[in-house]
Amino acid sequence: MKVLVKLTKYLPEQVGDEKIKLYLLKREELGWRIENKRRSKHVLDRLLAYANNAVITNMAENAYIFAEAEIPGMKAFVGEGGFKDVETILLPLPRPVNKVRIVRIKEGEKTETIHEYEPPAEMWGYESKITIAPEIEYDLIIIDTPEGPRPLFPDELKIPIRKTMKKRGKRKRRKSKKAGRALKKKRKRKSRRKK
C-alpha cells in the first residue's frame, strides 16, 4: 500500500498597521512524497510514524513544520516547531486569516468594530504575539477565518509560561526503629527453633 506524505512549512512574519501589530505565518509547500507501506494491523500508528519522521527530518529553526500522511480513508497530522516571541494561540491549527477586528461591546449584546485590519493575501494564523496601541479601549479581538470567527479576550493575549519542575532523585526510605526490632525478634525465634 502506498502512503502519501505532504510537508508544509510556516514562517512567522510581523504584519499590521499603526493600531495593531501581530505575527502571522507565511505558508511554504515543501512537497509531496510517496512511500511504500508494509501491511500492518496498526495502520494509524504506521501513518503517525511516517508523518513524525517527515517532521523530524525537516525541522527548521524559527519555523513550524507540519506533515500529513494519508491513505484512502485515513489521515494522520503531525506538527512541530515554534518561534521565540509567541505569547498566545490564535487558532488551534494553522488556518488562513481573512480579517482581524478589534471590537467593543456596547450595552446588551450589541458590538461596535473599533478597528479592522485585513492582512496581505495568503497569511495564516496559529501561534502569535499581538500588540494593540495603548489608546485603544476594547473588549475582544475577532480573528475571521474561512471556517468562521474566533474571539480572543484581552486575558488570552498573553498566556503565562509554565515553570518546568526539576525532578528530584528518589529518597531512601528509612526503616523505623520499631520495624528493625521486629525483624531482629523474628530472626531470633527462627534460630531458636532450629536448635
Q: Could you report the per-residue pLDDT of 102-135, keeping only the tens digit for each?
A: 999 888 778 889 999 999 888 999 888 888 888 9
More confident residue, 4 or 181: 4
Reported confidence tier of residue 168, pLDDT bands at 50, 70, 90: low
Average pLDDT over residues 177-185: 67
Of 97, 95, 84, 104, the closest CA to residue 161 belongs to 84
- The answer to whether 138 touches 103, Cβ cutoff 8 Å, is yes
Average pLDDT over residues 7-13: 91
Here the cell at position 71 is: 491513505
172, 191, 192 from 181: Cα distances, Å: 19, 16, 17
Cα atoms in the 13 Å half-sphere on the side-chain side of 64:
22
The answer, yes or no, to whether residue 164 has pLDDT greater than 60, is: yes
Helix (H) or strand (E) holding 23: strand 20-36
pLDDT at site 15: 92
Among 8-12, 82-86, 134-138, 166-170, whose mean pLDDT is lowest?
Answer: 166-170
Strand order in the sheet with 99-105: 111-117, 99-105, 140-145, 148-152
Neighbours of 102 (CB within 10 A): 22
Which residues in 72-164 belong to E strands, given as ranges? 74-82, 88-89, 95-96, 99-105, 111-117, 123-125, 127-128, 130-132, 140-145, 148-152
pLDDT at site 157: 80
The answer, yes or no, to whether residue 154 has pLDDT greater than 80, is: yes
Mean pLDDT of the chain: 83
Average pLDDT over residues 12-31: 90
Reported confidence tier of residue 41, pLDDT bands at 50, 70, 90: confident
Q: Which residues pair with 3 in a beta bridge?
A: 35
Reported confidence tier of residue 146, pLDDT bands at 50, 70, 90: very high
